[in-house]
Chain A
Amino acid sequence: MNIKVNGKTETIKEKSLAIAGLLKFSKVENPEMVSVQRNGAFVNKENFDTTYLEDGDEIDFIYFMGGGAHQRTVMKGEGL
């Protein structure tokens, strides 16, 4: 299938790929900070594994620099 990622056309060979897989495929920088829009609509982080892409989808990876980074700040040495 062909999709657009951040405005650039990408050909996906896999028959099915969820947003979580696309984050890896696209080698997204700081994936914990990214916000995802699919065809202009917000995709909740908890739905990344279950939201499957369709041919013609337009996906945008958006960052908000600073403390509004969409994910609770992770502490050094997780589990502290």
Chain B
Amino acid sequence: MKKAGFITKILHTKFSKEDPHGSLHAPLYENVAFEFKNAEELELAFQGKKPSHMYSRISNPTVEHFERRIQAVTGAAGVVALASGMAAISNAILTVTRTGDNIITSKHLFGNTYSLFEQTLKGWGLETRYGDLTKPEGLRELIDGKTRAIFLETITNPQLEVADLKALSRIARETGILLIVDTTMTPPYLFSAKDFGVDIEVLSSTKWISGGATSVGGLIIDHGLFDWKKNEKLSGDAVKSGPFAFISRLRREVYRNMGACLSPHNAFLQSLGLETLPLRLDTACANTHKVAEFLKRASGVKSVNYPGLKDSPFYETARTQFGGKPGAVLTLDLGSKEQCFKFMNHLKLVRRATNLHDNRTLILHPASTIFCEYSPALKEDMGVRETLIRLAVGIEDSQDLIADIEQGLETLR
């Protein structure tokens, strides 16, 4: 039989232990502690020498099953599920860097990620260097002996830029640093990170994977491509754990000590969401194309940005990397902030909320919300204009969405 497809793999991932009742869904283990027959077994478990769960902050059967499903569809060396996408980013960075190190990224980042780098981690001695990731060769001059990683989003939020990941991977490989990529906008199924040389994939599973914003969660996926002897912090771990040096340090130190574990309840919901991920992604991407095409023709709209539009400067790169489905977020510019607010306030179907990839279509004015803590000059530098609106398109019937947007735009005339 041919290699199984995405949904088949998700639905038929083996349980780590056979369920005594033959349940088709991996049961929800909503407990904290696990009992052992004797003290010797408990000691072995603590040493990692017995395959047992001990305490749900460290591991849990329901969370494990969710991780194994992600592993099945990505072919990863290891997967760790966490409490949120931000927990995934912070845990991944803290595992591979130490004080005095630096990472390279772009200022075109999700606002909270920028804040993590510039406020939280900077205070602990991690330097973040900013470059233009859409011009990969220019990054070489930022890389030095203390550079540990290039970090980026597959599609930046809300600028919707798409960098050439194979080119970035080549630079990372040549300089012995990691390529860490946030794939929240293009999760597995839309984007096969391993095929593009991504070493570590991080994402917010709150969005698509949870089934449409049912619960908060995050994932770290180690694609097993990096030679850990080249990372100064993990070179010793590479001797003991080989290709699993990162996962080992993460599980046994950073993830365990930071405590940002995914709750079993959320893991159960996200595992359910995963079963229908491709169906929802296909619909949302198709809807986004239709809405983008409508907005291009609509009067009062100054510009529309979506990497799936042929006039996007990132169209070709997005087509190559995401197989013609470049996520379900678009942005549009109106004449002023006031017009943006008026338009948003007159929408009846589209919801005013801060999230992406709910099953419902959500609208947001990034400059006054996610980026509100930044100065006008920095916002301009980040490509976050006062006239910019972000639309995260859902899976409603596209004609209903377009009708709602059309009546909202009519109020501006």
The chain A residue sitting closest to B68, CB to CB, is A73
Are A80 and B72 closer than 8 Å at their CB atoms?
no
Tell me whether B50 and A68 are in contact (CB under 8 A): no
Interface residues of A in 53-80 (CB under 8 A from B): 60-70, 72-77, 79-80
Contacts of A68 in B (CB 8 A): 67, 77-80, 222, 244, 247-248, 250-251
Cβ-defined partner of B51 (8 Å) among A30, A60, A80? A30
Question: Which chain B residues border A29 with CB–CB below 8 Å?
Answer: 50-51
Q: Does B214 contact A (CB under 8 A)?
A: no
**Restricting to B242-286, which residues have a CB under 8 Å from any CB of A?**
242, 244, 247-248, 250-252
Of A60, A67, A70, the most chain B CB neighbours within 10 A belong to A67
Q: Which residue of chain B is the closest to A36 with respect to CB atoms?
A: B242
Q: A68-B247, A73-B71 are in contact. Are A62 and B49 (CB under 8 A)?
A: yes
Total A-B pairs in contact (CB under 8 Å)?
A: 109
Q: Does B402 contact A (CB under 8 A)?
A: no
Interface readout for B181-223 with A: 1 if CB under 8 Å, 0 if not? 0000000000000000000000000000000000000000010
Given contacts A76-B14, A80-B12, contact A65 B59 (CB under 8 A): yes
Q: With A6-B47, A62-B49, A65-B52 as known contacts, state yes or no: A44 contacts B242, CB within 8 Å.
A: yes
Q: Which range contains the number of B residues in contact with the other chain? A: 35 or more
- Chain B residues with CB under 8 Å of A61's CB are 49
Given A63-B51, A65-B64, A66-B63, A41 and B78 contact (CB-CB distance below 8 Å): no
The A-contacting residues of B in range 91-112, CB under 8 angstroms, are: none
Closest partner residue, chain B, to A80 (CB atom): B4
Cβ proximity bits B151-163 to A, threshold 8 Å, 1 near / 0 not: 0000000000000
**Of the candidates A40, A64, A74, which one forms a contact with B244 in the assembled complex, judged by CB atoms under 8 Å apart?**
A64
Determine whether B44 belongs to the interface, using a CB cutoff of 8 Å to chain A: yes
Contact (Cβ within 8 A) B13 A67:
no
With A and B bound together, what is the CA distance between A51 and B48 in angstroms? 22
- A30: which B residues are within 8 A, CB to CB? 16, 51
User: Quick one: CB contact mask for B1-23 with A, threshold 8 Å, 1 for yes?
Assistant: 10010001100111010000000
| Most chain B CB neighbours (cut-off 10 Å) among A34, A64, A68 | A68
User: Taking each of A44, A76, A79, A80, which has the highest tally of chain B beta carbons within 10 Å of its own beta carbon?
Assistant: A80
B64 in contact with A66 (CB, 8 Å)? yes
- Bound-state CA distance A29–B14 (Å) is 17
